[in-house]
């Protein structure tokens, strides 16, 4: 039995939460493997909208077990709020939400450091969600971090104090005016820790490998997108974890030969939130329409997302890096009503046409080269079968399949669980 992966192929916000939720009935275990509360996974069903930040998107199903893996970073304050939302919705999570002892904790001062670091960058800022993600992963790789398992040890508060004192010195170095009340932040932090401690901590790598031997079905849920990967994304405008397939191995302790299907989620167009290069970005009415019809605002920060045409060069790169076996196309419904659609198939890069993603995709080096497609008028949001889809959309889908060499097995035509066409 293998572990299937579900990953975003663009700059995040592809709709992973919805698809995990749709697929959960096929799986015994859903496991998040990287990122933290910088993610916002939106699920809509029975007329209600739920946004998850750290908790795997299988939590609303009765039977699935949900694991927060070792590769994830947890902010106890945000995590407590997520649990309280589940309480409000009468979701019984105590027995079906398990936390890896090796997951790292986001401390209040990690968030302050994130803010100081971003401010110090001025115009070159990353556009971070300011959730303390970068500083927490820095402490992880710097071998200074505090892990969930430490909470079971007597001396964790001393470790916490020592690390916090160090952070305060680094904050002094930034010499940037940030107003905060550490005592107040710590009150919330300790309340979050108590809530976290009410859950079951596990040695998740052992748990998952035992589950594999017992033929349990497992879906690994990614956060953010491949173009935000710390190694393969548009560095430095990236997040601080490996969002690509390899991240699932290190973020869960699952060997590469245990990986089965790799589901790659992408939008029928492209969006990006935060700073950084975006070759197919639109600054015209078409971009505005995508933003308006697609409700393109960040689920975590509420920031407007930048919108543009589908970039097949970048999509093929993500398919390759991840070894995607099935594609799932989201938000096709948002493109209804466009006369002409464009898809970027190559770039003019430093005067030459290239079909791969070059090292530097800053606007001064890159001009996208587009293929054009006829649009469609029909509203897709009530459609439930492939036969109902307009021919021009099917041509669009065909083209993407041919270019990537990977079948599109799900076409999503709206945010609700029910608005999902399986091919």
Residue 166 to residue 186: CA distance in whole angstroms: 16
Question: Could you give the residue ranges of the DSSP H alpha helices within 307-411?
Answer: 312-322, 391-404
37 binds ligand IMP (CB under 6 A): no
Residue 262 to residue 257: CA distance in whole angstroms: 13
| Residue where the block lists tokens 């409000």 | 88
Give me the helix-helix angle, 312-322 and 391-404, nearest 10°. Answer: 50
128 binds ligand IMP (CB under 6 A): yes
Q: How far is the CB of 387 from ligand IMP (least distance, A)?
A: 34
- In this chain, which of 43, 55, 67, 228 binds ligand IMP, going by CB under 6 A? 228
357 binds ligand IMP (CB under 6 A): no
Residue 101 to residue 110: CA distance in whole angstroms: 20
39 binds ligand IMP (CB under 6 A): yes
270 binds ligand IMP (CB under 6 A): no
- In this chain, which of 59, 72, 133, 421 binds ligand IMP, going by CB under 6 A? 133
The region of 8-16, 191-199, 345-353, 410-418 touching ligand IMP under the rule CB under 6 A is 8-16
- Within 10 A of 119 (CB to CB), how many other CB atoms are there? 14
126 binds ligand IMP (CB under 6 A): yes
- In this chain, which of 80, 96, 131, 331 binds ligand IMP, going by CB under 6 A? 131
Q: What angle do CA 144, 107, 110 make, to 5 degrees?
A: 80
Residue 157 to residue 90: CA distance in whole angstroms: 33
129 binds ligand IMP (CB under 6 A): yes
Q: How far is the CB of 271 from ligand IMP (least distance, A)?
A: 8
Give buried/exposed letters for 122-148 (b at 16+ CB in 10 A, else e): eeeebbbbbbbbbbbbebbeeeebbbb
Q: How far is the CB of 73 from ligand IMP (least distance, A)?
A: 10
Nearest residue (CB) to ligand IMP, 106 versus 335: 106
CA distance to 145, 168, 182, per residue, from 161 (Å): 12, 10, 12
Q: How far is the CB of 381 from ligand IMP (least distance, A)?
A: 24
Q: How far is the CB of 23 from ligand IMP (least distance, A)?
A: 19
**Residue from 13, 139, 229, 311 carrying the catalytic annotation:** 13
- In this chain, which of 4, 13, 21, 221 binds ligand IMP, going by CB under 6 A? 13
Output the DSSP codes for 76-103.
HHHHHHHHHHHHHTT---TTTEEEETTP
Indicate if 13 belongs to the active site: yes
Q: How far is the CB of 265 from ligand IMP (least distance, A)?
A: 12
Q: How far is the CB of 284 from ligand IMP (least distance, A)?
A: 23
Question: Could you give the residue ranges of the DSSP H alpha helices within 11-155?
Answer: 16-23, 76-88, 108-121, 133-141
Nearest residue (CB) to ligand IMP, 38 versus 345: 38
Output the CA torsion sign for 400, 401, 406, 409: positive
Two tokens, residue 422: 């399986």
DSSP H or E stretch at residue 201: strand 200-202
Residue 41 to residue 6: CA distance in whole angstroms: 13
242 binds ligand IMP (CB under 6 A): no
Indicate if 295 belongs to the active site: no
**Residue from 4, 21, 41, 311 carrying the catalytic annotation:** 41
The region of 18-26, 129-137, 182-190, 208-216 touching ligand IMP under the rule CB under 6 A is 129-137
The region of 58-66, 96-104, 236-244, 381-389 touching ligand IMP under the rule CB under 6 A is 236-244
127 binds ligand IMP (CB under 6 A): yes
User: Count of residues binding ligand IMP (CB under 6 A)?
Assistant: 21
Task: Give the residue numbers marked as catalytic.
Answer: 13, 41
Residues contributing to the site for ligand IMP (CB under 6 A): 11-13, 38-40, 126-129, 131, 133-134, 223-224, 228, 237, 239-240, 273-274
């Amino acid at each position: 039995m293998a572990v299937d992966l579900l990953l975003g192929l663009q700059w995040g916000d592809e709709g992973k939460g919805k698809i995990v939720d749709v697929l959960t009935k096929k799986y015994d275990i859903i496991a998040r493997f990287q990122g933290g509360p910088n993610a916002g996974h939106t699920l809509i069903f029975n007329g209600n909208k739920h946004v998850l930040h750290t908790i795997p998107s299988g939590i609303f199903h009765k039977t699935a077990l949900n694991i927060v893996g070792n590769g994830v970073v947890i902010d106890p304050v945000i995590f407590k709020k997520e649990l309280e939302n589940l309480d409000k919705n009468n979701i019984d999570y105590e027995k079906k939400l398990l936390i890896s002892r090796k997951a790292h904790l986001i401390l209040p001062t990690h968030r302050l450091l994130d803010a100081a670091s971003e401010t110090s960058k001025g115009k070159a800022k990353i556009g971070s969600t300011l959730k303390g993600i970068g500083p927490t992963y820095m402490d992880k790789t710097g071998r200074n971090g505090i892990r969930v398992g430490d909470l079971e040890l007597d001396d964790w508060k001393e470790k916490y104090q020592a690390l916090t004192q160090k952070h305060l010195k680094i904050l002094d170095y930034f010499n940037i005016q940030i107003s905060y009340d550490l005592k107040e932040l710590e009150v919330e932090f300790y309340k979050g820790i108590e809530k976290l401690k009410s859950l079951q901590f596990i040695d998740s790598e052992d748990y998952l490998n035992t589950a594999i031997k017992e033929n349990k079905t497992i879906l690994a849920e990614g956060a953010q997108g491949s173009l935000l990967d710390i190694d393969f994304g548009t560095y430095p405008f990236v997040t601080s974890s490996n969002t690509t397939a390899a991240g699932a191995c290190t973020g869960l302790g699952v060997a590469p030969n245990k990986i089965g299907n790799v589901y790659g989620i992408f939008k029928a167009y492209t969006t990006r939130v935060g700073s950084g290069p975006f070759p197919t970005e639109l600054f015209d009415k078409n971009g505005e329409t995508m933003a308006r019809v697609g409700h393109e605002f960040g689920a975590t920060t509420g920031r407007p997302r930048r919108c543009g045409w589908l970039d097949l060069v970048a999509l093929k790169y993500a398919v390759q890096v991840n070894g995607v076996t099935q594609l799932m196309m989201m938000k096709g419904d948002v493109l209804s009503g466009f006369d002409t659609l464009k898809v970027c198939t190559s770039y003019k890069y430093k005067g030459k046409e290239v079909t791969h993603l070059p090292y530097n995709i800053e606007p001064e080096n890159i001009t996208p080269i587009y293929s054009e497609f006829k649009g469609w008028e029909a509203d897709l949001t009530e459609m439930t079968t492939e036969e109902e889809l307009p021919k021009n959309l099917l041509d669009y889908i065909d083209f993407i399949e041919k270019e990537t060499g990977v079948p599109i097995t799900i076409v999503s035509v709206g945010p609700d669980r029910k608005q999902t066409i399986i091919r």
